[in-house]
Amino acid sequence: MRYNHILFDLDGTLTDPGVGITKSVQYALRKFGIEEDCDALKSFIGPPLQVSFRERYGFSEEQVTEAIAYYREYFSEHGIFENDLYPSMKESLETLIEAGCTLHVATSKPTVFAERILHHFDINSCFKSVAGSFLDGTRSDKSEIIAHVLQDQGIAAVDAIMIGDRKHDLIGASNNQVASIGVAYGYGSLEELTACEPTTIVNDVRELVEWLVKPTSKLVPQR
Active-site positions?
9
Q: Alpha carbon of 173 to those of 21, 46, 143, 160: distances in Å? A: 24, 15, 7, 9
Amino acid identity, residue 196?
A: C
Return the HEC string of the chain.
Answer: CCCCEEEECCECCCEECHHHHHHHHHHHHHCCCCCCCHHHHHHHCCCCHHHHHHHHHCCCHHHHHHHHHHHHHHHCCCHHHCCEECCCHHHHHHHHHHCCCEEEEEEEEEHHHHHHHHHHCCCHHHEEEEEEECCCCCCCCHHHHHHHHHHHHCCCHHHEEEEECCHHHHHHHHHCCCEEEEECCCCCCHHHHHHCCCCEEECCHHHHHHHHHCCCCCCCCCC
Amino acid identity, residue 151?
A: Q
